[in-house]
Structure 1
Amino acid sequence: MTRRFLPWWRTGAAALVTRADGPALPARAELPVEATVNALHTATVTARLYGPGEVIGLDPRQVIRTDPVEHTTDFEPNLFPLIEFDAPELPWAFTPATADAADQLRPWLVLVVVPRAAARGPAHDGRPLPVLALDDARSQLPDLAQSWAWAHLQVTGTEATPTILTGPDPARTLSRLLCPRRLAGDTAYVAAVVPAFAQGVAAGLGQPVDAGELRPAWGPTTTAVELPVLFSWEFATGPVGDFEELAARLRPHPLAADDLAGLPVTVTDQPAGVPDAGTIHVPGALGTGDDLPPDVEPEVLESLASLLEIPGPVAIPADLPLPLPAYGRWHAGQRVAPTPTGTKWFDQLTLHPAARAVAALGTRAVQERQEQLMASAWAQVGEVARLNRLLRHGQLAREATRVLHRRVVPLNGSSRDAAEALVLAGPARHRLLGIDGVRTVAEHIATSRVPEALFTAAARRVLRVRGPLGRRAGVSATDLVLRADERDGRPGAALVGQPPRLPPGTITIEPLGSEDELPRLCGLGPGWWLERPGPRATLGPVAELSAWFAPCDGPGPPPALLPDEQVWAVRDGLDPERTVTTKVRSRVRVPSTWVPRDPLEPVLVAPEFPTPMYRWVRDHAPDLLLPGIGEIPVDSVSLVGTNPWFSAAFLAGLNHEMARELLWRGYPTDQRGTCFRRFWDRSVAVPPLTGADLDDIRPLPDWPLEEPLERAGLPPGPRPASELVLLLRGELPHRYPRATIYATKAVWTTTAAGERVHALPAAPVEEHAVFGGTLGADVTFRGFAISPNQARGDDVEPGYYIVLQEQPTEARFGLDGSAPTVPTGTWGDLSWETVTVSASGHVALGGTDPIVVPPGGNPRGLHFSTATTAAHIAGVVEQRPYRVAVHAAVLLPREDT
């Protein structure tokens, strides 16, 4: 939306006032009013409008914004304090005049800002308004003759101005008062809205109001003064310099590649007969982006390999108390000594003196904070102890039940063993799947020829071997199951014991000879026959009876239960390896990353510490974070690259030592956990990152063993191995923490001379930082997911620009703190050094422009003088968001020649 400024605005009857602003104004405006009665009689009366002397208060709801806000402690001294009102006509509503020929109109109230030390109040003392008292108004208050210049109206929109001002949307208009005072740095101030005319002062103080000529509230000779306050707030300024000035102070400072090569370390006079390695450079966490330590003599590596704690006990020299730790041995799964000439990450980490030094720095970090780390680790373990206790109990139950299972359900037994197993499993028959894997064992029994009652607890109790019936009959439930399963309807012995004794005279069916002599009965199926009757005379009735039945096409006899086959399903269903394991695992929830061979194996976990560990290096070894960090000049900007070799070695040492500490403290771990994965602070990323995107390394057990150290730990994804890092040393990031810092890809353009050069795109695609932080007290850094080579560009790719941009805010007004080194010849160069400042510290408007504007450089024809309007002045002093951009090639490390 378009923002425009107007010098003043009147509504209602005040808009009808025709007397121009100037000297000798009345205290109240008068308007002639003609009244016509019944179209016959006309009378003229004088209407007197309210003036400044009738105002004794201001609705605080009219105040919609102050800049700075109340209790601000770091307001930029070069800016103007301001207050905004909701009503667009409020500053001129009670001025008894209209604008003069120059379109200037004094407001009836003004904004004054005075040092806290020079003012008393505002305080309530029984008068209508709080009172602000000053001992010397001449040195503290602005010139009221120029009050018209510091009150204006703002409208937002592209429509015509009257349409906006009279429209239904009041949010698109406001009025504003400015105080053009030059503030001092680090000073407390009181800002107050006070009457601009003596009549308003008298009304606010409860004094008689002079109805005569309108007079200003103070003049050039006024000393002590008491002013009624309509609204007030307090604030303090910060150090001198706004965003534009602080950004203009920054100078490119490309660091020397040789200085970034690493911290020189002398390796001499080593114990245990280790040969001297001389002076080697240990690369830091930041550098050129591809920094690696120099090679060392093979005999040094061989000597170190002979002193490691791997593969086992070795003869320790007298001057070496313990074997040297083999960093990452458990994470890499290594049980043999590393190869001195190897290129694997484990070989490099364990044997190279520079890598060992960085890893040892990580172990020191754990040792210094072991108590805090262990307290956090135990706090994280939570229910793991209870979980492992339940899993161990499950292991005990499984092993004990497995012995009983093998005895009750033999793997290779006889048919009798199988039937006995089915009987013993009878109470669980409804929960066990049968041999087909679809129906339960109970359903198989119900459709077989074996009565289901034989598998009940009552049958087992009645037919138990040592029971009365079992001893007398000599049979068990197992016997009956076998006999019932073998019986197919053919003649045979009864199921239980001897044939029953029948009462005398009972007619029975006895064997009749061959089966061909006995007709089949329909419905019983093939193979089912009536048993032969003893007397031949019964054959006829039986034949007649069978004649009543249809041919025997019905289903056959019930199938056999086949205990020899069913027992395998029962054995699997009762196997404690499955039943106990399933029961226990249903009660626990283990980490998804924990996949042991034994499902009931106690869980081994590793705590996680999300703290970005660069902070520890910064506080304990700053020269290893950035070699030569103390040589970076103040107010400079540089670009470097991250060094994945350093972060991998440091985090590997951290995790190795933490695993040892966890094992020593009895923590449930297997020494292969990756407790530390974050070196840089990626919580500042825009947009925010989550999960593994916050990590700088993947879990150590996942590091490809064949990869070198600088590549092994890189997490998967599009992130470059070395990431671009911007270094800022100065006040800018501290004074403006919300400033936008981003990278954007440059474009090629051609100059008038035909030279192809880099240019900032018209619509830049912003690539924001993915990590950041501070290095010391005054060095701020931001990291981007761009490699240093991508940022530099080449003959084909244009590279990237780094942009520092002031956070867009609502309208702010003021002047630059200092004149620019290279003036542009526009109003943007207007500074406190180029304007006239009165004795009271306020801007004094002159008759000519304070700077020279070349033809065409000032299209609106603005003049910072008394011959202009408040709207023009507002346009001149408005402070627009500032942006500075520099190509990465100018900031990246340089090769010394």
Structure 2
Amino acid sequence: MTTYTFASWDRSGAAASLTDPDDLVRTTPVRGALAATASVNGGTGRSVPVPALRLYGPGDVRAIEPNEIVRIFPLPGTPDAETTRFPLVEFERTEHPWLFTPLTPGPSGHLRPWLALVCVPLSKGRPERVPGARLPVLRVEGGELPDPATLHLWAHAQTLPGHETDPRRSVSRLLCPRRLLPYTTYTACLVPAFEAGRLAGLEQPLDGAGLAPAWGTGTETRDLPVYFSWTFATAEAGDFETLADRLRARPLPAQAGRRPLDISRPGLFAEGPGSVVQEVESALRAPGAPVEAAWPTGPQSARWRQRLADAIAPIGDGSGDEDPDVLPPLYGGFHALRKRADPTSQGWLDILNLDPRWRVAAGLGARAVQAEQEDLMASAWRQLADVRAANRVVDLGRFARLVAGRLHLRHVTPLSADEVLRLVTPSQSRLPLAADTTLWSSIRSSPLPNAMATTAFFRAVRPMGVLSRRVALVSGAAAVPVDPAKPMRSARAVGTVETADPVGTAGPVATADERDASRPPPFAGVLTAVAASPTGLAVTPRDPDGAVCFAVPPERVVAAERLEAVRKVFAPLDGASDAWKQVAADAAGRSLKRRVTTEQLAATPPVPATALNRAFRIPDLPEAEAPADFLARTAVTPEGDLVFPSGRTGAAGLGLFTERTAPGAPRGGFAGQWIGPWDSVAHGDAAGNWKGACHGTWNLGAGRSGRWKGDFVGTWSGRPPAGGTDYTWLALFTGTWETETENGTWRGACTGTWRENDNDSDGVFTGTWRSALRHGTFQGTCPGTWDWNTDNKTGVWWADCHGDLRITGDGPGGDQAPWDTGVLQGLVDQWGDAHPLGLGVFTDPGVLVEQQDQLPVPVVVGARPEDLRDMVVSAHDRSLKPSDAPPVPTRDPFPAQQNGQLIVGLTDPAVTVPAAVAARVDPPDGGDPQTPVQWAPVFTDAMWPPLSGQSREWMFGGLEHVPADTAVLALTNAPFVAAYMVGLNHEFARELRWRAYPTDQRGTYFASFWGYGTDLPPLHTWQLGLPLGAHLTAPPDRVVLVLRSALLRRYPGAIIYAAPLNGSDPDEDHARHPIFRGGLDPDTAMLGFDLTETDLTASPWCFVIAEQPTEPRFGLDDPDPHLGWGSAYQAPNTPGDTADDWNNLSWTHLFDSEAAYQAATHAPGTVRPNVAYDGLVWGTSAAGTARQCFQQPVRVVMPADRLLHPEENDR
């Protein structure tokens, strides 16, 4: 529930400092005055005289900005405004009505606005242009204007919760307390409230005009400049609350829902059925009324029905060339495939055609089609064009299915699984093998290498391709131990070395010229074996793990994600060359190969995207002996893993990359600066702390340079060593560095001395650096300077290697201009040897000791060796912490044969073509997509409006006997609706045949009476033995709320719904809204609900009519005839609901007699003690007036049992 807060005024800015109080009668000053003082240069002992400051007042306003107005009520041009509402204007700024008032609120809390809203009948005055005036002028008698002494009561500010952070939740508002008369046109105008503002708007001299009212209380005519205006008109007296309060649940007249029918002269017959007058029903019936009135019985009625059946029956068999007979229609005969009605049957077709009451309903449907036949046929022809296009698609699909089926049978069905998989490679992601599995996802979840299922792979291994002539599969070799004379490096220790005969089951390793051209290339011939192996490699039964020999670099043969594993297998045996090169050199003889399980290769995890973002590029590492284009796309993560172009990682290969430099050789310098504050309790007496940041660049020469940055912490001594003049300091650094191809971390320690008198500092540093591939040491000097900051309490130390650092100098008169600290150079004296980080660092913690031993001798005074050791341990734990080998994931083998057969079935045109046709053509009633569509035009519009258009009595007979301001419940008359819908469809079937439309005349063209879904199934499916109305899919007793009132005409946006009753309140969580609504005449509306009469009687329900919630509105209720004039106000009896405290306030409470009320044009603003509640008295404050006139949205709750049985209650 929204909570509004009202305030009598609001001020901000300089106006909030005004001091002249407003007593509601003073006329000066015209401008507000402010006292001011000034100081010079921030001093407090010198002041300068300042002229009196004056704020703009009402006499300075010539116009207002229309954009300041955010809302007006009623809207301009409204033809039917309520007479119980006050016109209003809202401004965006909360202080706008008091912006130019040169006063401050007085002791009573009142503050007059500088402008006002007036509302005048158009016959009494209107704004007009006057020569010499910028603004339009309203010339009107003072009696048509509100009392100027009470204008402060009709201006207030409003805020909502959260207005402190959202200015849109606060506004200011002006009300006009005009008593609006019915059927009157008004003009609403914003005019000045003070005489100074009136003269300024008229472009006249002020001549001492002050804050006197702009008009008086008499009848004297006044000219008022108009800042803004609009017009509106009122309708009949009353508002939503008034009209809703008039609604009553009254008993329906006896003839409700029925109309008399004279059948004394049937036309074709000499006598009627035996009763001269019958009652024909309508679409709605009263609750409790019989569904069907009794039909006369007896011999005369039976003869009448027989004669009617004979008159409808066709003459002859229709086989001759004679013209057909013009006979009364047999409604529904086309759909039921019947030509005669049976007088002895009680089925729907016979009752409909032989009972004149239902024939009338069917005839109404036929007349509705005849009235709209041209528009209906135009729509039917448009629908037929779509049908023809759909049948064109169906014909093409049948042709495609026939031709493609023969091609599939001849060229696809005989293929092997390997050939089928190769054929569908481009469409792997679009072939569903199961509900949630495609061919591509099945390959990725199996041990089969992803690259082997790509178009590029099949192109590379085509039978006559270059690769198939140069690569062979070798198997059947026995494993032998590794030669002890050539041990493997720790970083490459994987598997064992085997020897293999040059000729195996897959053929020898040889060049294309040495191959037997008569034999098919073996590589393509064993591709299907890949699918049967859980290892993912093409293998033979004798060697389940497989072995591959290459005569070309593996990176040119193997997919990128397998390259790292293959390079493990063919690692350098002697540190100089790769195994694959040796194999290539000895192709004619025996070849070496490495045995390794593919489970080990498959265990390499994919690298996450976040790690790729942190990878170091390796554009050119000749020691790797790998192609440059491959290395350009290879990277190393901070964790030390290689990232290959496939996106997979591995820890192999790190031992290949070594920085070979002479120990202790100078490699260049660095440049940068570090700066940070240091504090002291007493200058030079106590030790202090020191911290800051650092950054810069470094250069190793030969174009290899980088950037560094970091943070540092340190301490400095408060007293120099005994007998010395230099103070000592110590700092520990940590940070990161990067180059174009590599990055890493560094740690170091610095120590030095400083002199208090000359601000100089000297120091030395040493440290370690590392990357994912290497680590090393560095050491050098770091000169600097120090000084006190401006408060002389905290010291700052600098080290500047750029020469551009500037500090503020001290002088006799205070701070002076900045001056250069001087160019300081720091040099890296030596770079230590760069040691490779082999794979051992991932498994052997003892390497930490080796790294510690390689650090240079500490040169930092005061730094302990364990400090440096802790530094290295921290870096090692963060980046080189050993980790277990990744577990081997379990993957199911790829079922190549099964998937091949499944794909053959999925690609069968008998499956694919109908699916493609069904995606474009929606067959009616779920028919075969390959069958041409037999189409009947369909109209989904509600068909009750054509019935109501013929006469509202056909909707609800006897409606003219229902009194005004009545709410009743009616039920759907199923037999009448069924007869009417049959007549619609029968007549349109005849019209289609007459217009040569291709049809069998059995389509259901109209199926919705109320417009909410379909109300009946297809007519050709109706069982002939069921009674009329039994086939409707909608409930036969669906509830319809009928309102005979001007409420919905005046308020078409009213919210109407049904809800279960929870005590006396509706259950909003289970509300039912209308499924259809319509109007029978300007003052009669009907609303259908998805409820039945049984639902309303089984449990308590109610119907609610609620006013549409809108922006706040203000006004007074019409005079209450049950109250005496001037009676004391009594709040509604709603315990716990303070929002309704003032809902009953009406004009009756504000006037002591009806004569005074009729003579008044505005609501009074004087204090009325009789209008008081909870400490709030009428006329005491603007905020109180806003609360008392605030109009809550109205809601009317009508219990359903009262509407169903109005005769049992008074209302």
Where does residue 1167 of structure 2 map in the other structure?
847
Look up the match of 1:32. Answer: 35
Alpha-carbon distance, 1:227 to partner: 1.7
Distance 1:107 1:378 in 2: 68
Q: Paired residue for 1:280?
A: 278
How far apart in 1 are the matches of 2:198 and 2:127?
16
Does the 8 Å CA contact 1:106/1:147 hold for their aligned counterparts?
yes
**Quick check: 1:697 aligned with 2:1016?**
yes
Unaligned runs of 5+ in 1: 315-319, 403-426, 441-577, 683-692, 749-758
Alignment of 1:713-724 (within 5 A): 713-714=1032-1033, 720-724=1035-1039
Work out the CA distance in 2 between the residues paired with 1:243 and 1:79: 11
In 1, Cα distance between equivalents of 2:264 and 2:1170: 69
- The residue aligned with 2:1005 is 675
CA contact (8 A) 1:275 1:303 kept: no
* Counterpart secondary structure, 1:618: helix
Matched residue, 1:171: 168
SS at match of 1:74: coil
Deviation at 1:623, TM superposition (A): 2.3
Q: Which of these residues, 767, 790, 811, is aligned with residue 1112 of structure 2?
A: 811
Following TM superposition, by how much is the alpha carbon of 1:840 offset from its aligned partner in structure 2, in angstroms? Answer: 6.5
2:1130 alignment partner, SS class: coil
Instruction: Decide whether aligned partners of structure 1 residues 747 and 213 sit closer, same or farther in structure 2, where only a CA change above 3 A counts.
Output: closer
Deviations 1:114-144, CA, capped at 9 Å, x for gaps: 12232242436443x412231x422221111
CA distance in structure 2 between the partners assigned to 1:644 and 1:137 by the alignment: 65
* Deviating more after overlay: 219-228 vs 801-810: 219-228
Alignment match, 1:876:
1188
User: Does the CA-based 8 Å contact 2:257-2:284 persist in structure 1?
Assistant: no
Paired residues of 1:65 and 1:84 also in contact (CA < 8 A):
yes
Indicate the SS of the match to 1:711.
Answer: coil
The answer for the alignment partner of 1:184 in structure 2 is 181
Question: Does residue 103 of structure 1 match 2:109?
Answer: yes
Partner of 1:236: 233
Distance 2:1089 2:406 in 1: 64
Distance 1:838 1:672, change over 3 A: closer
Describe the SS at the equivalent of 1:348.
Answer: helix
Q: Following TM superposition, by how much is the alpha carbon of 1:802 offset from its aligned partner in structure 2, in angstroms?
A: 1.0
Distance across 1 between alignment mates of 2:409 and 2:1161: 97
Q: Is the 8 A contact 2:922 2:929 kept in 1?
A: no
Confirm whether residue 710 of structure 1 aligns to residue 1040 of structure 2: no
Separation (CA, whole Å) in 1 of partners of 2:1086 and 2:993: 37
CA displacement at 1:850 relative to structure 2: 5.0
Out of 379, 383, 399, the residue aligned to residue 376 of structure 1 is 379
Structure 2 residue 361 is the aligned partner of structure 1 residue 353: no
Shift of 1:800: 1.3
Quickly say closer, same or farther: Cα 1:150–1:645, change in 2 above 3 A. same
Residue 223 (structure 2) aligned to one of 222, 226, 234: 226
Q: How does 1:297-312 map to 2 (within 5 A)?
A: 297=297, 298-309=302-313
Q: Which position in structure 1 is the counterpart of 2:13?
A: 12
Match of 1:551 in 2: none
- For residues 502-560 of structure 1, what are the alpha-carbon distances to aligned partners after superposition, in whole Å with 9 as ceiling and x for unaligned? xxxxxxxxxxxxxxxxxxxxxxxxxxxxxxxxxxxxxxxxxxxxxxxxxxxxxxxxxxx
Aligned partners of 1:358 and 1:646 also within 8 Å: yes
Correspondence 1:68 to 2:74: yes
Q: What is the distance in 2 between the residues matched to 1:114 and 1:429?
A: 86
Distance 1:299 1:78 in 2: 66
CA distance in 2, matches of 1:838, 1:299: 73
**Superposed displacement of residue 359, structure 1:** 1.1
Match of 2:860 in 1: none
2:28 maps to 1:21: no
Structure 2 gaps, min length 5:
319-323, 416-908, 1132-1141, 1152-1156
* Matched letter for residue 1187 of structure 2: G
Describe how 1:54-65 pairs up with structure 2 within 5 A: 54-65=60-71
Cα distance change on mapping 1:815 and 1:65 into 2, 3 Å: same
The corresponding residue for 1:47 is: 53
SS in 2 for 1:728: strand
What's the offset of the Cα at 1:765? 3.1
How far is the alpha carbon of 1:654 from its aligned partner?
1.0
User: 1:743 & 1:361 partners in 2: Cα distance?
Assistant: 32
Partners of 1:838 and 1:844 within 8 A in 2? no
1:57-136 equivalences under 5 Å are 57-123=63-129, 125-127=131-133, 129-134=134-139, 136=140
Return the match for 2:335 from 331, 346, 360.
331
Residues 1056 and 1106 of structure 2 are in contact (CA less than 8 Å); yes or no, is this contact kept in structure 1?
yes
**1:181-580 superposed matches below 5 A:** 181-211=178-208, 213-221=210-218, 223-256=220-253, 258-260=254-256, 262-270=258-266, 271-272=268-269, 276-278=273-275, 279-288=277-286, 291-297=291-297, 298-309=302-313, 313=317, 322-334=326-338, 337-384=340-387, 431=407, 433=409, 438-439=413-414
Identical aligned pairs, as a percentage? 37
* 1:25 and 1:97 in contact (8 A); partners too: no
In structure 2, C-alpha distance between the alignment counterparts of 1:348 and 1:283, rounded to whole Å = 15
Indicate conservation of the 8 Å contact 1:29/1:96, yes or no.
yes
| Structure 1 residues 587 and 761: CA distance shift in structure 2, 3 A | closer
Partner residue, 2:968: 638
Change beyond 3 A, Cα 1:5–1:391: closer
Instruction: Work out whether residues 387 and 588 of structure 1, in 8 Å CA contact, stay in contact via their aligned partners in 2.
Output: no
Shift, 1:208, TM fit:
1.7
Q: Which amino acid counterpart does residue 848 of structure 1 have in structure 2?
A: R
Cα offset, 1:176, TM superposition: 0.4
CA distance in 1, matches of 2:195, 2:138: 15
Q: Secondary structure at the match of 1:260?
A: coil
CA–CA separation in structure 2 for the residues paired with 1:588 and 1:46: 84
TM-score, length basis structure 1: 0.69
CA shift in 2, pair 1:225/1:341, >3 Å: same
Q: Which amino acid aligns with 1:353?
A: P
1: distance between equivalents of 2:394 and 2:1186?
A: 76
Secondary structure at the aligned position of 2:1058 is classed as strand
The alignment's C-alpha RMSD in Å is 3.8
Say if 1:5 and 1:154, in contact at 8 Å, map to a contact too: yes
CA contact (8 A) 1:261 1:281 kept: no
Alpha-carbon spacing, 1:629–1:592, altered in 2? closer, same or farther (3 Å): same
The number of residue pairs the alignment matches comes to 679
Deviations, residues 843-863 of structure 1 (Å, cap 9, x unaligned): 112332455x6xxxx33x221
Distance in 2 between residues matched to 1:252 and 1:5, nearest whole Å = 40
Partner of 1:3: 4
How far apart are residue 812 of structure 1 and its match?
Answer: 0.4
Measure the CA separation in 2 of the matches of 1:630 and 1:606: 40
More strand by share: 2
Contact 1:186/1:237 (8 A) holds in 2:
yes
Q: In 2, Cα distance between the equivalents of 1:598 and 1:16?
A: 83
How far apart in 2 are the matches of 1:595 and 1:89? 68
How far does the alpha carbon of each residue in 1:876-895 deviate from its partner, in whole angstroms, 9 at most, with x for none? 00111011111122222668
Tell me how far 1:763 sits from its aligned partner. Answer: 4.6
The correspondence for 2:938, drawn from 597, 608, 633, is: 608
Structure having greater relative contact order (Cα 8 Å, sep ≥ 6)? 1
Between stretches 68-77 and 636-645, larger displacement belongs to: 68-77
Deviation at residue 253 of structure 1 after TM alignment: 1.9
- Per-residue CA deviation, residues 554-580 of structure 1 (Å, 9 max, x unaligned), is xxxxxxxxxxxxxxxxxxxxxxxx99x
The superposition leaves residues 448-480 of structure 1 with CA deviations (integer Å, 9 ceiling, x where unpaired) of: xxxxxxxxxxxxxxxxxxxxxxxxxxxxxxxxx
Structure 1 residue 642 displacement after superposition:
1.3
* Number of the residue aligned with 2:754: none
CA contact (8 A) 2:1104 2:1197 kept: yes
Contact 2:393 2:917 in 1 (8 A): no
**Residues 1:209 and 1:788: Cα distance change in structure 2 (over 3 Å):** same
- 2:1161 is aligned with 1:829: no
Among 137, 141, 144, the alignment partner of 2:145 is 141
Aligned equivalent of 1:785, options 1090, 1095, 1100: 1090
Q: Distance in 2 between matches of 1:429 and 1:616?
A: 53
Structure 1 residues 72 and 726 mapped into 2: Cα distance closer, same or farther (>3 Å)?
A: same
Give the C-alpha shift of residue 819 in structure 1.
1.7
Is residue 2:979 matched to residue 1:649? Answer: yes
